[in-house]
Amino acid sequence: MIILRSVVFNVLFYIQLIALLVGWSPCLIFGRHSVQNIARFWARNSIWLLDKICGAKLEFRGLEHLPRGACIIASKHQSFFETFALTVQTSDFSFVLKRELMMIPFFGWYLKCGGMIGINRSKRGSALAQLAPQVRAHIAQGRQFIIFPEGTRRPAGAPPMFKSGVARLYLETGAICVPVALNTGLFWPRRSFLRRPGRIVIEFLEPILPGLTKEAFMQLLEMRIEAATNRLVAEACREEPALREVLPVSGGVSHA
């Protein structure tokens, strides 16, 4: 049944996405706030479909830690799911993403109009130098900048691979940083069409205030995200023991 439900969900998910991209493209003339509203509409519909078809229910925690205004949101990245689910709770959001995505017809138009930041990931050093002033400008506008410090999706239970780019942005913008933990990779694993039932949790953690050194910031960020993510993954595995099969054999998450 999981396979059948996953197929049905994926078909409807992509049909909806294509229909929205094409049908609502005239709304691009109204600017980034229009694009953000469309993104949230798509996200809410997709979350509803995932619940009704696959039995995966989303729960947000720690919303009291998310400020209304400008901040950096540094999220664990296990799945494609959080890239759209986070838009439901953020206000004037922006992402950093691969520049190639902005070249895709329709989809790329929305990214550009929505004020997303595209970088050339093959030139990491120069990309960071170009990224910092753009993020500063977004923060100055009161926007909430979403970044995935590991740079790419990591399976649930895999060892962390945090990169220091987020620390540079934290230091150069002077913005509050809100860490985010999650267990999405158990239910929407990367490189798989399966969508498993259970309780998906995305948790906003205690913000990190400006003023720390690069080393202290990175240590605190990784500690908070990893401790909370391990807790959420273990909690999900207690509720749905079959999810333990998703974790790498070397994963350090306790299932007790």
Q: Report yes or no on 252 lying in a domain.
A: no
- In the chain, what percentage of residues exceed pLDDT 90? 71
Question: Helix (H, G, I), strand (E, B), or coil: what is residue 202?
Answer: strand
Q: What's the CATH number where 173 sits? A: 3.40.1130
Q: Residue 91's pLDDT is what?
A: 87
Bigger pLDDT: 25 vs 255: 25
The answer on pLDDT for 183 being more than 80 is yes
Question: What pLDDT was estimated at residue 191?
Answer: 87
CA distance 146 to 97: 10
Count of domains forming the chain = 1
Q: Token digits for 59? A: 């729960």
- Looking at every residue in the chain, the average pLDDT score rounds to 91
Q: What pLDDT is stored for residue 245 in this prediction?
A: 83
Domain contains 82 = yes
Residue 156 has pLDDT above 50, yes or no: yes
Is 93 part of a structural domain of the chain? yes
Cβ 212 vs Cβ 219: under 8 Å:
no
pLDDT at 126: 66
Is there a domain that residue 37 lies in?
A: yes
DSSP letter string, 94-127: EEEEEGGGGGSTTHHHHHHHTT-EEE-TTSHHHH
| pLDDT computed for residue 255 by the predictor | 39
Cβ contact 175:210 at 8 Å: yes
pLDDT at 50 over 80: yes
Higher pLDDT, 101 or 255: 101
User: Is the pLDDT confidence value at 122 over 70?
Assistant: no
Lowest average pLDDT, out of 50-64, 161-175, 234-248, goes to 234-248
CB 172 within 8 A of CB 166: no
pLDDT tens digits, 10-44 = 999 999 999 999 998 888 888 889 999 999 999 99
pLDDT digits (tens, 9 = 90+) for 63-112: 999 998 999 999 999 999 999 999 999 989 998 888 888 888 888 889 98
The whole-number pLDDT of residue 249 equals 56
Is the pLDDT at 194 greater than 50? The verdict is yes
- What is the pLDDT confidence band of residue 124, given thresholds at 50, 70 and 90? low
| Residue 84 domain flag | yes
Flag whether 165 is in a domain.
yes
Are 178 and 72 contacting, i.e. CB atoms less than 8 angstroms apart?
yes
Residue 219 — very low, low, confident or very high, per pLDDT cuts 50/70/90?
very high
- Terminal alpha carbon distance of the chain: 28
Does the reported pTM lie above 0.75? yes
Domain span including residue 109: 2-246
Q: Is residue 251 part of a domain?
A: no
Is residue 253's pLDDT more than 70? no
Question: Does a structural domain hold residue 68?
Answer: yes
pLDDT of residue 119: 78
Mean pLDDT across 230-238: 96
